[in-house]
Amino acid sequence: DLLTRLTPLPEANPHNTPEAVVVAIDEETLQARGGMRRIRPILTETLEQLRDANPKVVALDTILSDPGDPAEDGRLEAALRATENLILPCELVAAADGTHWEDPLDRFKNTTTAVGHVHAEQDRLDGVSREISLEDIANGQRRWALVLEAFRVSRGAGIVESPEDLSVGSALIPAPRSG
């Protein structure tokens, strides 16, 4: 929103080790590399480069639910398998028979530590997503948010629920339950 765009970011402290690093692929680079059709080689190269940094956790926000080129899929699967503490995304999909999870292909899903949802509700008035739920349920299957799964794995802790909050290790997250 406008307020977030106008609020300056704090200056980075060069003496701090970042808790998280976001690797983003801008549209121009994506198109120069062949567009979404070529996203798998881009992800493979990125994961191979990240491996040397020894991250606590890697969370990808690219749904890998459809098969691609067999050779590219094989290389990506190997890169995913070599990535420790990997979190892959899933998304809620509405269909005629109800809502269900769109998961990564099994060959990719089997390489992960966890799968987390990336479903974001858009405001019905202006179409802007301002929040993401910590959990979503479809067909009786609950999924935690991708970011919550990444936080949990980075802390080496489980998620403990109460009616008023969630705790992950020593972190307490206000999350009152409705219903």
Identify the CA nearest to 172 among candidates 116, 134, 120, 129.
Answer: 134
User: Which has more confidence, 22 or 65?
Assistant: 65
pLDDT of 114: 95
User: Which has more confidence, 101 or 123?
Assistant: 101
**CB 104: neighbour CB atoms within 10 A?**
21
pLDDT of 132: 76
Nearest-angstrom CA–CA distance, 3 and 76:
39
Which alpha helices (DSSP H) does the chain contain, by range? 2-6, 27-32, 39-51, 70-81, 106-109, 146-155
Per-residue pLDDT of 141-169, as tens digits, reads 999 999 999 999 999 999 999 999 999 99
Q: Report residue 128's pLDDT band, with 50, 70 and 90 as the boundaries.
A: confident
**Residue appearing with tokens 């509700």:** 121
pLDDT of 167: 94
The model carries a pTM of 0.82
User: Which has more confidence, 78 or 177?
Assistant: 78
